[in-house]
Each structure stands twice: as C-alpha cells, then as structure tokens.
C-alpha cells in the first residue's frame, strides 16, 4: 500500500466495515461475521462498531445482533454527489441509456486496482439484471475492466495487472475467463481501435457486457459506461447496433461532464 507511514489501522478497519455492509449479501452482519471475514480482532471490531453506531453511521438490532448501515451516511452520500457534480451528471444520464438499449446501464470508476459501480439504471422489463452501487470487482475482468485498462498508460496498466497475474496467468472465474496476459493485451489493442469492449460470461456465468470509455477534458479515462444483459445477443447485426448505441451514449456523457 502506498504511503504506508500514513496508514492508520483503525481508520482502515472502519472503512472496511462500511464497505462490507454496503454489499447486498452482507447488509446485515454480526460482530462475529465482521471480525472473521475482515480479520479484525473481536475487541477492536466491537469498539469500532460501537463508535460508528453512536455516531449514527451504523444501526444495531439487539434482537438479531446484526449491524447495518445507518442514516448518518445518507447526507454524506448526497453531499458527495453534489460536490462531484460531473459524476452526478453522468449518473443522471443513465436512464436514457437503459431506455434506448433495453439493458442494465452502469457507470464504474477506478478505486486503486479495482473498479466500483457508482451508478446504475435498470430497464423496464420483468426480467433484468441488477447490480449493487458501491460494489467493487477486479479491474482486469469483463468488458468494463478491459475497457478501463485499454485507455490507461502502459506503466499504470502493467502495475495494476501485476496485482492479479502469476507468471502471466490470471485467476479463473468462469470457463470463459481470460487466463493469460497475452490474451488480454491482444483484446486491449482491439478495444482501442474500435472504442468499445465486450465480454460473454468472463466474470459471472451467463452475464454478457458491452463497455465504452468516458473521458475528461484532458482526454484521460475517468469512467466506463457499461451495459449488462442476461442473454447473449446471437444476431450479429443487433450486437453491432448495440455497440454503436453505447459508443454514442459514452460520447454524450463525455461531453456532459467536461
């Protein structure tokens, strides 16, 4: 970790607890759950939990012994979005993407060597894919990860990929995962040429994605616009039209945030 001399363990543990509870599958967790999964001693974990609860950042159910996120986080989230106005504008555009494409539209940003969902919009369909805002995933997987990597400088990309490779090999998530660095680098060249990335069940089985870069005023990538569908698009013409739509929407968002 960079700036190790500035690292404060108790603050780090507090943030890890908040991040853990922000995930749908962990939104209600006990002291034991948090201590075991986050590798924080029970005594330290309990002190942190009591402090966060006293400040309203966590809620505690004495019957179930579960902790969950508290109401004090709401104004912080609202204020953060107000401050980050251009991200707010990008998120506000997502309903147009979902309506136009008929698939779940998402925005992700880089957090260290991972990507985080910062916005989503689901289409008006009975069967649709949902994601959790705040959830993170490895930067090298799927269309969104490949898209982000494609537009980073070579040194930054290499440093990020070193977090996940062993002798040029990646962890395997599904039968369709890219397992070798050479495979990824080859696709990155294609993504830069075409301005769009796609994946078919590379990180989660049955989930297919398309992704396009969003740039700031310096032409540096800051976000990725992604679209998820549960069903593979078999029609080549339909898939190409989907990619064209996503490219147009990504260009529009880039214009909105400059």
- For residue 205, give every residue at least 6 positions away whose Cβ sits within 8 Å of its Cβ, in sequence order, or none: 174, 175
End residue of a domain, out of 46, 73, 100: 73
d(CA 203, CA 172): 8
Does a structural domain hold residue 30?
yes
Residues 152 and 233 in one domain: yes
Query: CA-CA distance, 176 to 202, in Å (whole number)?
Result: 5
In CATH, what number is assigned to the domain containing residue 243?
Answer: 3.30.450.40
In a domain, 197, yes or no: yes
Cβ-count burial of 25 within 10 angstroms (0-12 exposed, 13-18 middle, 19+ buried)? exposed
**Selection from 43, 16, 18 nearest residue 32 by Cα:** 43
Looking at the domain assignment, is residue 9 inside a domain? yes
| Residue at which a domain ends, from 73, 106, 133 | 73
Q: Looking at the domain assignment, is residue 10 inside a domain?
A: yes
Structure token digits, residue 99: 């309506």
Q: Are residues 201 and 224 in the same domain?
A: yes
Domains identified in the chain, total number: 2
CB atoms inside a 10 Å sphere around CB 76: 10
Residue 14 resides in a domain = yes
- In terms of domains, do 43 and 107 share one? no
Task: Give a three-class secondary structure readout of 208-251.
Answer: EEEEEEEECCCCCEEEEEEEEECCCCCCHHHHHHHHHHHHHHHH
* Residue 67 and residue 89 in one domain: no
Q: Is residue 78 part of a domain?
A: no
For the stretch 29-44, pLDDT in tens is: 999 999 999 999 999 9
- Per DSSP, the three-state class of 69 is strand
State pTM to two decimals: 0.72
Element (H, E) at 141: none
At 1 the pLDDT is 47
Q: Where are the alpha helices (DSSP H) in the chain?
A: 9-21, 31-38, 42-54, 73-83, 85-101, 142-150, 154-161, 181-194, 236-257
Q: Are residues 108 and 8 in the same domain?
A: no
DSSP H or E run through 164 = none
CATH number at residue 37: 1.10.10.10
Residues 119 and 223 in one domain: yes
Are the beta carbons of 44 and 59 closer than 8 angstroms?
no
The domain in which residue 65 lies consists of 4-73
Give backbone dihedrals phi and psi of 138, rounded to 5 degrees, phi first.
-60, 140
For residues 118 and 237, state if they share a domain: yes
Q: Which of 31, 46, 73 is the last residue of a domain?
A: 73
Q: Which of 197, 211, 110, 194 is nearest to 152 (CA)?
A: 110
Digit-by-digit pLDDT tens for the chain (258 residues) are 445 556 799 999 999 999 999 998 999 999 999 999 999 999 999 999 999 999 999 999 999 999 999 999 988 887 777 667 888 899 999 999 999 999 999 999 999 899 999 999 998 876 667 788 988 999 999 999 999 999 999 999 999 999 999 988 999 999 999 999 999 999 999 999 999 999 999 998 889 999 999 999 999 999 999 999 886 666 678 889 999 999 999 999 999 988
Q: Are residues 67 and 91 in the same domain?
A: no
Domain identity same for 140 and 56 = no
Look at the chain and count its residues.
258
Same domain, 167 and 186: yes
Separation of alpha carbons 63 and 36, rounded Å: 21
- 193-243 pLDDT, tens per residue? 999 999 999 998 889 999 999 999 999 999 999 999 886 666 678 889 999
Same domain, 248 and 217: yes
Whether residues 100 and 139 share a domain: the answer is: yes
């Amino acid at each position: 970790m960079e700036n190790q001399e500035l690292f404060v363990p108790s603050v780090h543990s507090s943030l890890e607890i908040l991040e853990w509870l922000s995930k749908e599958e962990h939104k209600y967790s006990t002291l034991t759950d948090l201590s075991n999964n986050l590798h924080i001693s029970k005594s330290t974990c309990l002190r942190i939990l009591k402090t966060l609860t006293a400040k309203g950042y966590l809620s505690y159910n004495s019957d179930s012994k579960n902790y969950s996120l508290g109401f004090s986080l709401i104004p912080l989230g609202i204020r953060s979005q107000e401050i980050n106005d251009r991200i707010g504008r990008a998120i506000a555009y997502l309903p147009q993407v979902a309506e136009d494409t008929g698939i779940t539209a998402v925005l992700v940003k880089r957090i260290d060597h991972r990507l985080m969902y910062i916005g989503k919009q689901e289409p008006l369909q009975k069967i649709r894919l949902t994601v959790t805002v705040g959830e993170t995933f490895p930067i090298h997987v799927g269309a969104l990860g490949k898209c982000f990597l494609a537009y980073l400088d070579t040194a930054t990309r290499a440093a990020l990929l070193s977090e996940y490779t062993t002798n040029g090999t990646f962890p395997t998530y599904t039968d369709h995962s890219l397992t070798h660095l050479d495979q990824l680098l080859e696709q990155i060249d294609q993504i830069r040429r075409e301005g769009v990335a796609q994946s078919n069940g590379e990180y989660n089985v049955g989930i297919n994605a398309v992704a396009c870069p969003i740039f700031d005023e310096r032409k540096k990538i800051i976000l990725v616009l992604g679209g998820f569908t549960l069903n593979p698009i078999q029609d080549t013409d339909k898939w190409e039209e989907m990619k064209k739509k996503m490219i147009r929407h990504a260009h529009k968002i880039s214009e909105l945030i400059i």
